[in-house]
Structure 1
Amino acid sequence: MNDQSKYNSIDWAPGQPGISPTWTSSAKDVVTTSLGSSRIWATLGYGIGNEVYWPSTGHPQIRDLGFIIAGPNGWTEVKRAQRYLISTPEPHVPLPRIVHEGDDYRLELEFLPHPLRDTLLVNYNLMGEGLQLYCLLAPHLDGERANNAWADGDLTAQRDAVSICLRSDCGFLRTSVGYAGESDGWQDFSRNGAMTWTYKCATDGNVAMTGELASASGTLALSFAQTLEGARTLARSSLAEDYDDVRHMFIDQWAQWGKTLVVPYASPEMTHVAETSATVIKVHEDRTYAGAVVASLSVPWGSSHDDAGGYHLVWTRDTVEAALAMIVIGQIEDAKRTLAYLIGTQSDDGGWAQNYFPDGRGYWTGNQLDEVALPVILAAKLRAVGNLNNSIPTENMVRSAIAFIVRNGPMSDQDRWEENAGASPFTLSLAICALVSSVDYFSAEEADYLLSLADCWNERIEDWTYTTDGEYCANRDIDGYYIRMSPRPRDGGIHGSIDVRNVAHGEIPATGLLGMEFLYLVRMGLRKADDKRIVDTVSLVDEELRVETPNGPSFHRYNGDGYGEHADGGPFDGQGVGRLWPLLTGERGHYAVAAGEDARPYLAAMAKMTGPGGLIPEQVWDRDALPDRGLSPGKPSGSAMPLVWAHGEFLKLLACITTKRPTELLDEVESRYGGNIPEAAVWHWREKSPFNSAPRDRDVNIEAAEPFVLHLTRDDWQNKEEIGSSPGAFGMHIVTLTNEQIADTGEMKFTFFYPDRKVWREKDFAIRFDR
């Protein structure tokens, strides 16, 4: 098929390889898939088809599928005209109907993922006098720059084991393939005012395809397969069926699913947003790897670069946030599938890759402690609602994840924004709650150790993340405030500096960096909403991070953030200016519920900060409008849209307003702490999380991950003691100094000898014991 030897030299498109490919804008209108066996996920933006994903949610295969209308008054590319309306039958039925209207035309489009075949059907109807319709298709197969394309009755393209076929039920009058920016269909119209090129072959480049449709109304089939023959067979088969029958099948599947939604009581407007949010999350679940939910079917600022990753990857954090949201609307089975999927992607060391394709292949390589704690919390939540299968794989997952947290916590290599190492209130909250909620999976000795460690970390949260002498204390009636995070102790701890990597010269004192992470201390039941430290910090972030937009309040991730468009609206390119995050509006709303405030304005703000199709973005614009860039205050910027995490946050806030209880709050944690700081019986000293002083009335565990001999002195090495460690839980090795043993000790200095390696730790450490 498509034997290149049959083409004459005049059939080959000029301009190889074309301009460098990119993805398309992340400003999606709608995301859709069927609930059948088909493995097609389609996104729409600017009223046309954007990336289509096949055979999983991790693999976009085309840049876009658009249309040109030509007539007596010239030609129009409809995506550039931006004169269209979007509708769906119901918010929980993602069958988008797009109506483009110009001065002399009306184009109706409906994008229908076939429930049973790997085909996207596009039903079209053009109205107007003397008009002709053309389709434009830009393959970007397997994310590779070099694709091959042919115009031979159908429009086909191939790269290795990915093939596509675009076919019309009424046929094409003419077809052409070319190289983007050089000999593609848009360039033809731009230069010649009409379709004049009919090239049959374009290989090894950034190819583009054009078809002149033989009728003003009909159906297109865009099919995907491993072979060209397979793609063509699927396209022909799909068009051989009655379109209305396929449409009814699609609608019926989604309508039946919609009946299972249990949306908390809300106004019709909020119910609509809730159903849309539930549908967005559902659309993002993979078919082959059930339970895998990617962060977004989009590439942030995709029209400016060519990124193999984008957001069409699984982040354990985002996936669990989505699963927890599905629980609150009655979709328990979805959450259970996600838990099973996460069990399947867990690493041998008990952690998870920073992010990964739906099949489990890692992409970025960072380690984030919150992404290890969250699957444990999901298991605990499913158990709390009576829907956890206590299988051996589940038990093994929890035990392995907890062991990872014990060995590596409480410091994380990366915070939740994947930028810095150290202690974050968000990560600490999740790690502590994971330890407390998992004790039933362990022996009595192991359980006691976990609770002891959790109590110690909980008591020390303020040591790591609360400052009383930071720069924001000046000229304010506050005693102190929580910071975004502190570096590792070896890097200065709370008195160190944070490298804000997405801006130039971004070194900021840790005490000068504010964030919203501390709100999870209340949300997870570790601190009370009326704790003065919490209240003071809320007032501070409301002052420093909050922006009132025309659509309501939203928040920056932290002061000095650079992850967003440049000041002129240009796309983020490794540096920029951080914009507002609707999901943080949701986090502030959760605190409002806990504090007895009215949280509805935050919910309403999230509902208004959406795109044309009701999708909640990662970020919204925070400055004056830039019409040329399509940027308006309080509306989506060029970052990811939709963001699954944001839709999950909306659903959880809606539920929290009704129940007055955060989804993540677990009974075990609430009963143990009740928002109060514990007095841990044991303080656990490790080189990764040391302390320079400790209360005299506590036991102290000196711990390491290998056997050691503790060499200590109470009188500055005039006399010394040697104590061999004992094996403890989770592979830790421990020397315990009881409060009786240290009762008369003012300061203790110590170092280590590791007998297995016959190595001294050539550094002295010290602990001062306070009365």
Structure 2
Amino acid sequence: MLAAAPRTRPAEPLWRGTPMEAPGAPGIPPTWTSSDKDMVGASLGPSRLWFTVGHGVVNEIYWPRVDIPQIRDLGFIVADGKGFWSEVKRGADYTIATPGPGIPAVQILHRHCRFELALRIAPDPDRDVLLIELDLTGDADLAPYALLAPHLGGTGNGNRAEVFTNRGRVALCAEQGPFGLALAAADPGQRDAWRGASAGYVGTSDGWQDFARNGAMTWAYDRAGPGNVALMGKLPRHSVLALGFGSGKEAAATLAISALARPFEAAWREQVRAWEAWHAEKAHATGLPGEFHEQVHLSAMVLKAHQDKTYPGAMVASLSIPWGNSTDDPGGYHLVWPRDLVESAGALLELGAAEEARDALRYLIATQLDDGRWAQNQWLGGMPRWGGIQLDEVGFPVLLAAALAEREALGGIEAKGMVRRALAYLARHGPATEQDRWEETAGINPFTLAVAIAALVAGAEFLDEAERGDVLLLADDWNARIEEWCVASGSALGAAHGVEAHYVRVAPARVMSDPAALREVVPLKNRDRNPGLPAAEQVSTDLLQLVRFGLRRADDPFVRGTVRLVDAVLRAETPSGPVWRRYGGDGYGEHPDGRPYDGTGQGRPWPLLAGERGHYALVAAEDPVPHLRTMMRASGRLGLIPEQVWDGDQLPLAGLHPGRPSGSAMPLVWAHAEFVKLATSIRAGRPVDRPEAVWLRYAGRRPHPTHAHWAPWMPVATIRPGQSLRVLSDVPTVVRWRVAGRDDAGEATTALAALGLHATDLPTGALRPGDAILVEFAHTVNGERRIEVTEPVSPSV
């Protein structure tokens, strides 16, 4: 139990009293707030501030970059000072609106039987300040109190809070390291509005604890910290708040107080006007059914508002921390994932925001690592956070460059070097990936493979003619082997649903040399008990990318069978419509009893996947429009699309309702990008992100490659009759070969080939089915000659 803080004298203007240090250091362990956002927003002006709103109050504010949250929340208590008090974010009886679709200026009305609290929220367009207009009506003895929880530098630990006087004006301030904030207030006459203030430690001596224990604001502490701190101040019934950020409390207070010198209405009008003009310039809803206009505008705003201003082109995955009220994770989703960035930039390109898409490409060029890949995710400046390697995140930047080139929208960007390095990484490490797109499982994954093949084909357009042909041969070989690697026949899972053969979620890399590897167990992550399942018994929605990118036809028998299986085992019927889970046995989501994901849980349906299923419907000549409607219905109060929706029994105390947002990230920017892409794909009659070069080469048909490829990282077990066997190495190599049981033998030396690889073609075209060719590698390591004997490679029909 927490020890009660001592009761002190009644609150008074602390700048006149004796300084008092709050007790209870360092406070309880910090957490973030709920990721269930009502709205996110930013100014289109020079202001470097991004805000979020949830449960009717301000949540995290990010400054001076979109990856650094600086507060947990800024909420309000309404009280009469005689025992009655109500914290409005816990009341849940509020309405929220904006002046128009996709305009991030927020109007909130909290209702109670004794009062109404009206808020308007907008950023100052020119300063790093968020403005809040407050109007309390109702019982005359009630007053509003602001409650602010600083998390400067992205953490609730080590903050210092202070009631600070700056040139005669009071501000509630906090500092940590190079960051400072100040909350100033003015009444309608633009006079200092604070009627009392206090600083404290969260859970012991903060303002909320004061009301919880005393029914009124009775504590009056000047400062608290270092620790998990909070600030509270009493306000008049009509006032404007300005929360400013700077390099210290003085700098932040100067910005906040100067913002109050201009009428709130001026900042509000400027925010509305600027966003209306941006939407009008893009004209992104042209030609779409009217029911989707508002959601497209909202999604366009979400995409734009997640872009950074210090690093143009960088976009975080979400201005939220999944299950934030149960964790102090410093990263959350406010990091750059190359995959999410490219998916989002592609949507912006379809909305007519070509310059924003070009900025994303420039940013990716700048943050490409020396070996040609990108970090799994990273802070905006390019510093990696997680160390996994995902081949789709190597291929996606190539596809962005190709998409811009298709539209003649590169704008002079020289992307050849970036593309070549990325393709070289794919060729040296594919087709198996260390992690799939869900960042969990190694092996050969249909989604990742589709992206890698598409990148090889589309990226070949950037290469010199001498390299282009060899890269396309490799793409053809991988494409022709998709079923060899990723289709399971006769699985118990398929048999239970009348499906003879289906694409697996992921195949172990060993399947390249042994097809029986599909019977090997592949682990399931994020589960309390994790026995895993054989690869052949796992299915996911990832195969849909093969159709979307034009590698397979929608009516391909394996595709059709897998879609039936996916719909049977992963589709969840919700009040919002059908939504799909990622894969069977997924553990990333709330526990069945509603407890937040804590490293284990149960995966929930993703609206994003309803969009992907809609793209398949479009190609399969089905009606894709219901999938758009599902994404809209699964969104939050104002249209923010979540990462996941709840699919269990209704749990109102946990805020979990079937078909509605769960505690995962909201908004998920990738989901808004998918909504935009599906809407514009319906208008275009085809997937708008399908690379044209891929469609022209394959049009959904399996190729018949003239070459098979073998490498130490790609030890394929079979080649087709008539194919040449191209042996690849990353260093100069002598290749010795012979045909098992025959006198045929030879030796060849690799030569420098495409993408810096070394290659030689072995004369296998005349071999008969059943023949096995044995290959030896000889190369020099540290001056010593080494020999490596491969597994047999045998042609088959």
Tell me which interval the TM-score lies in, with the shorter structure as reference length. over 0.9
Instruction: Give distance in 2, aligned partners of 1:188 and 1:67.
Output: 14
DSSP-derived class of the 1:766 partner: coil
1:203 aligns with 2:214: no
Q: What pairs up with 1:415-564 in 2 under 5 angstroms?
A: 415-489=436-510, 493-503=517-527, 504-564=529-589
Moved more, 736-745 or 468-477: 736-745
1:708 to 733, 746, 767: 733
Structure 1 counterpart of 2:622: 597
Instruction: Give distance in 1, aligned partners of 2:789 and 2:114.
Output: 81
DSSP-derived class of the 2:539 partner: coil
Q: What pairs up with 1:299-448 in 2 under 5 angstroms?
A: 299-392=321-414, 394-448=415-469
Instruction: Give distance in 2, aligned partners of 1:234 and 1:143.
Output: 21
1:770 aligns with 2:796: yes
1:658 to 659, 683, 686: 683
The structural deviation recorded for 1:718 is 8.1
Structure 1 counterpart of 2:146: 135
Q: What pairs up with 1:726-765 in 2 under 5 angstroms?
A: 726-740=751-765, 742-743=767-768, 746-757=771-782, 758-761=784-787, 763-765=789-791
DSSP-derived class of the 1:67 partner: strand
DSSP-derived class of the 2:196 partner: strand
Structure 1 counterpart of 2:67: 58
Instruction: Give distance in 2, aligned partners of 1:151 and 1:94.
Output: 31
In 2 relative to 1, CA 740–395 (structure 1 residues): closer, same or farther, beyond 3 Å?
A: closer
> Once the two structures are superposed, what CA deviation does each residue of 1:158-177 show, in whole Å capped at 9, x if it has no partner?
00110000010132111000
Instruction: Give distance in 1, aligned partners of 2:635 and 2:70.
Output: 26
Instruction: Give distance in 2, aligned partners of 1:157 and 1:211.
Output: 14
> Once the two structures are superposed, what CA deviation does each residue of 1:279-307 show, in whole Å capped at 9, x if it has no partner?
11111011111111110000000110101
Structure 1 counterpart of 2:693: 668
Instruction: Give distance in 2, aligned partners of 1:208 and 1:744.
Output: 75
The structural deviation recorded for 1:725 is 2.3
Structure 2 counterpart of 1:112: 122
Q: What pairs up with 1:156-171 in 2 under 5 angstroms?
A: 156-170=173-187, 171=193
1:29 aligns with 2:33: no
Structure 2 counterpart of 1:149: 161
DSSP-derived class of the 2:240 partner: strand
> Once the two structures are superposed, what CA deviation does each residue of 1:463-487 show, in whole Å capped at 9, x if it has no partner?
1211113222325443300111112
Instruction: Give distance in 2, aligned partners of 1:524 and 1:166.
Output: 50
Aligned residues: 764
Letter in 2 for 1:693: T
Instruction: Give distance in 1, aligned partners of 2:288 and 2:770.
Output: 61
DSSP-derived class of the 1:173 partner: coil
Instruction: Give distance in 2, aligned partners of 1:61 and 1:262.
Output: 33
The structural deviation recorded for 1:496 is 2.7
1:221 aligns with 2:233: no
The structural deviation recorded for 1:727 is 2.3
DSSP-derived class of the 1:438 partner: helix
> Once the two structures are superposed, what CA deviation does each residue of 1:492-544 show, in whole Å capped at 9, x if it has no partner?
74333221121122421111111011001110000001111111111110000
The structural deviation recorded for 1:430 is 1.1
Instruction: Confirm or deny: 8 A CA contact 1:114 1:121 kept in the other structure.
Output: yes
Structure 1 counterpart of 2:284: 262
> Once the two structures are superposed, what CA deviation does each residue of 1:219-260 show, in whole Å capped at 9, x if it has no partner?
000000012211011011000112111221111111110102
Instruction: Give distance in 1, aligned partners of 2:763 and 2:756.
Output: 21
Structure 1 counterpart of 2:319: 297
Moved more, 165-174 or 494-503: 494-503
DSSP-derived class of the 2:508 partner: coil
4+ long deviations beyond 6 Å: 6-10
> Once the two structures are superposed, what CA deviation does each residue of 1:551-579 show, in whole Å capped at 9, x if it has no partner?
10001100000000011100101100000
Instruction: Confirm or deny: 8 A CA contact 2:769 2:796 kept in the other structure.
Output: no
In 2 relative to 1, CA 180–714 (structure 1 residues): closer, same or farther, beyond 3 Å?
A: same
The structural deviation recorded for 1:617 is 0.1
Query: RMSD between aligned alpha carbons?
Result: 1.8
Letter in 2 for 1:102: H
The structural deviation recorded for 1:711 is 3.1
Instruction: Give distance in 1, aligned partners of 2:339 and 2:385.
Output: 15
2:633 to 608, 613, 633: 608
1:623 aligns with 2:630: no
The structural deviation recorded for 1:183 is 0.2
The structural deviation recorded for 1:264 is 4.4
> Once the two structures are superposed, what CA deviation does each residue of 1:405-459 show, in whole Å capped at 9, x if it has no partner?
1222221111100111111111111111111112232222210111100000100
Moved more, 279-288 or 729-738: 729-738
Letter in 2 for 1:62: I
Letter in 2 for 1:425: P
Instruction: Give distance in 1, aligned partners of 2:412 and 2:718.
Output: 42
> Once the two structures are superposed, what CA deviation does each residue of 1:293-326 show, in whole Å capped at 9, x if it has no partner?
1100000001101011100001111111111111
Instruction: Confirm or deny: 8 A CA contact 1:709 1:755 kept in the other structure.
Output: no
The structural deviation recorded for 1:266 is 3.3
DSSP-derived class of the 1:191 partner: helix
Instruction: Give distance in 1, aligned partners of 2:37 and 2:210.
Output: 27
Letter in 1 for 2:346: L
The structural deviation recorded for 1:400 is 1.6
Moved more, 462-471 or 722-731: 722-731
- Structure 2: which 5+ runs fail to align? 1-14, 165-169, 188-192
Instruction: Confirm or deny: 8 A CA contact 2:362 2:413 kept in the other structure.
Output: no
Structure 2 counterpart of 1:3: none
Instruction: Give distance in 1, aligned partners of 2:78 and 2:288.
Output: 43
Instruction: Give distance in 1, aligned partners of 2:93 and 2:445.
Output: 45
Instruction: Confirm or deny: 8 A CA contact 2:497 2:565 kept in the other structure.
Output: no
- Structure 1: which 5+ runs fail to align? 1-5
Letter in 2 for 1:750: V
Letter in 2 for 1:473: G
Structure 1 counterpart of 2:190: none
> Once the two structures are superposed, what CA deviation does each residue of 1:61-114 show, in whole Å capped at 9, x if it has no partner?
100000000026711000001110010001121101110001010000111111
Structure 2 counterpart of 1:693: 718
DSSP-derived class of the 1:49 partner: strand
DSSP-derived class of the 1:518 partner: helix
DSSP-derived class of the 1:11 partner: coil
Moved more, 142-151 or 520-529: 142-151
Identity of aligned residues (%): 44
DSSP-derived class of the 2:77 partner: strand
Instruction: Give distance in 1, aligned partners of 2:497 and 2:524.
Output: 26
Instruction: Confirm or deny: 8 A CA contact 1:264 1:654 kept in the other structure.
Output: no
The structural deviation recorded for 1:742 is 3.2
Instruction: Confirm or deny: 8 A CA contact 2:428 2:713 kept in the other structure.
Output: no
Letter in 1 for 2:314: A
Instruction: Give distance in 2, aligned partners of 1:728 and 1:372.
Output: 21
In 2 relative to 1, CA 26–452 (structure 1 residues): closer, same or farther, beyond 3 Å?
A: same
Letter in 1 for 2:153: D
Instruction: Give distance in 2, aligned partners of 1:508 and 1:264.
Output: 47
Letter in 2 for 1:695: R
Moved more, 268-277 or 315-324: 268-277
Instruction: Give distance in 2, aligned partners of 1:744 and 1:477.
Output: 33
